[in-house]
Amino acid sequence: MMPLSEQEISKIASRLIEAERTCRPIDEPSKEYPGMTVDDGYAVQFAVVKEKVKSGAVVVGRKIGLTSKAMQALIGIDEPDAGIIVDNRMFREGEAIPLGGLRVPRIEAEIGFFLKEDLVGPGITVIDVLAATAGVMPLLEVKDTRLKPLKTTIVDAVADNATSGIVILGGKLTPLAGDIDLRLVGMIFEQNGEIMATATGAEALGNPAEPVAWLANKMAAYGMPLKKGEFVMSGGLTKALEVKPGFFFKATFDRLGSVSALFK
């Protein structure tokens, strides 16, 4: 099976950039290119980010999705997917966040890893991740899609930057010292003051550091190490919730602090 040409990759990337700018979704790329592979999907994603960086955006983090084994089984895959976060997709806790640029926003609570060293695969383990982490923080991810269907193939999801939307970081960075076991960290997820879900860190592939190790090893194949100073989102711990104007969300983590977001 032939990989997509540079011209085809550039064409899809341009369409996705335009879809994000106008908030008008496009058909899945794999409809037009039925032989498209996951590698092609990442090539498209990287092309989109390259264009954004050319326009002044700065890469600040990475995201990992589909870290739940149940979700993987549901869509017939055996590994997560990954995306790239740029600075203009970041919002602060204290501001009312506009939903105007998002089409179908859905929110998840996650544990983020802030790296003090590069993580260069292959062969990265959970121990390497923990050693390279300056600290962890609570964060919220609002997922969105530039594609018409809400459920797509893994190939299309990867091309669409793993359905990344915007990110809100919590204000507390907790060093991974002492007795913190991220697998056992509990989390309460609230919507407008009502508890919607509870979870532990173990929901992310058994240990939130596991998806980060996977990402470092996966990106090694593309010559793209995880870099010092970036944060890595380790995957949603609960089912994503729909976001509407006026909604307030708060995720409170045992010992890691909390993160909240108000939408307008």
Report domain extents, the chain. Answer: 58-263
Q: What was the pLDDT predicted at 179? A: 81
Q: Which residues of the chain form beta strands (DSSP E)?
A: 59-65, 81-86, 90-91, 96-97, 106-115, 133-143, 164-169, 186-191, 194-200, 231-233, 241-242, 248-253, 257-263
Task: Give the CA distances from residue 66 to residues 75, 76, 166, 178, 195, in Å, rounded to whole numbers and listed in that order.
Answer: 10, 11, 17, 30, 23
Q: What was the pLDDT predicted at 70? A: 55
Q: Which CATH superfamily is domain 58-263 in?
A: Fumarylacetoacetase-like, C-terminal domain (3.90.850.10)
Overall pTM > 0.85:
yes
**Within 10 A of 92 (CB to CB), how many other CB atoms are there?**
10
Question: For each of the chain's 264 residues, which pLDDT tens digit applies?
Answer: 679 999 999 999 999 999 999 999 999 999 999 999 999 999 999 999 999 999 999 999 999 998 766 555 555 666 899 999 999 999 999 889 999 989 999 999 999 999 999 999 999 999 999 999 999 999 999 999 999 988 889 999 999 999 999 999 999 999 997 789 999 999 999 999 999 999 999 999 899 999 999 999 999 999 999 999 999 999 999 989 999 999 999 999 999 999 999 999
Assess contact for 59 and 49: CB atoms under 8 A: yes
Q: What was the pLDDT predicted at 177? A: 79
Calpha distance 253→22 (Å, rounded): 36
Q: What was the pLDDT predicted at 166? A: 97
DSSP string over 22-39: HT--B--HHHH-TT--HH
Calpha distance 22→18 (Å, rounded): 6
